[in-house]
């Protein structure tokens, strides 16, 4: 089926799974404190200082899955805020549960399309953007749905402060090559030495490693 005319191409499958009682309880209790709806078409500017209740560097985590890695990074890095955006409702519930159980006050959780959310952020407002194991859309006819495309990368780069880092990871070699080509071509980004950095292992990473696929981390700083 073709995309409706003038409608942005989605880079994800909407995923509305059933929440466990633990996730549902966390959502009920913590969503009013830590949650953010980002519906399609909402371009209201998002003030990160107001969202986090403090002035501090912020990391945007796109597609955090079940949120285990996001919670681990937030716990080990309390000086930065972590804004995770996801469309998988059980994952949102799990990250909220982890934040509550671990007493994490530097986590905020957004429901919606990441690109809609990014457009609400001010230029230079982010310390880092993380895109860990996005859908590789392996079929050639679906490559247009991949998140790492020139236009999207330009938006990510604009939202980074000078020196801020765009960190991508994938377990699909062909997508890794396409990512590197796209990121290398952006005139406002400088490639950093390949490194996992402080990124914890994710479920998707373990799944890829178990299947024998190599893990590629690509890190770029805004010039």
- Binding-site residues for S-adenosyl-L-methionine: 61, 86, 113, 135
Q: Are 202 and 69 spatial neighbours (Cβ–Cβ below 8 Å)?
A: yes
Q: CB count, 10 Å around CB of 62?
A: 24
Give kind and range of the element (H or E) at residue 131. strand 126-132
3-state secondary structure of 161: strand
Strand 216-222 and strand 160-170: the pairing is: antiparallel
DSSP-based three-state secondary structure for 132:
strand
- Non-local (6+) Cβ contacts of 167 within 8 A are 128, 129, 130, 131, 132, 197, 199, 217, 218, 219, 220
> What DSSP character marks residue 42?
-
Alpha carbon of 57 to those of 119, 129, 131, 163: distances in Å? Answer: 18, 11, 17, 12
Annotated binding site: 61, 86, 113, 135, 139, 171, 202-205
- Secondary structure letter of residue 3 according to DSSP: P
Candidates 42, 135, 210, 217; catalytic one: 135
Annotated catalytic, 42? Answer: no
Q: Residues comprising the binding site for substrate?
A: 139, 171, 202-205
| Tokens 């209201």 found at | 44
Catalytic positions, please? 135
């Amino acid at each position: 089926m073709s995309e409706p005319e003038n409608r942005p191409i989605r880079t994800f499958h909407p995923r509305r799974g059933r929440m466990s009682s633990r996730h549902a309880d966390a959502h009920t209790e913590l969503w009013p404190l830590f949650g953010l709806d980002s519906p399609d078409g909402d371009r209201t500017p998002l003030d990160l200082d107001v969202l986090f209740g403090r002035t501090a560097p912020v990391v945007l985590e796109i597609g955090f899955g079940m949120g285990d890695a996001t919670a681990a990074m937030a716990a080990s890095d309390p000086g930065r805020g972590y804004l995770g955006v996801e469309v998988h409702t059980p994952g949102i519930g799990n990250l909220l549960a982890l934040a509550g159980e671990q007493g994490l006050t530097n986590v905020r959780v957004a429901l919606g399309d990441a690109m809609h959310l990014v457009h609400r952020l001010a230029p230079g407002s982010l310390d880092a953007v993380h895109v860990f194991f996005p859908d590789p859309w392996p079929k050639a006819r679906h490559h247009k749905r991949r998140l790492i495309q020139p236009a999207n990368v330009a938006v990510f780069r604009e939202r980074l402060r000078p020196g801020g880092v765009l960190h991508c990871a994938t377990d699909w070699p062909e997508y890794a090559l396409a990512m590197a080509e796209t990121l290398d071509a952006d005139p406002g980004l400088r490639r950093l030495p390949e490194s996992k950095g402080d990124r914890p292992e994710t479920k998707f990473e373990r799944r890829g490693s178990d299947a024998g696929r190599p893990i590629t981390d690509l890190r770029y700083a805004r010039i």
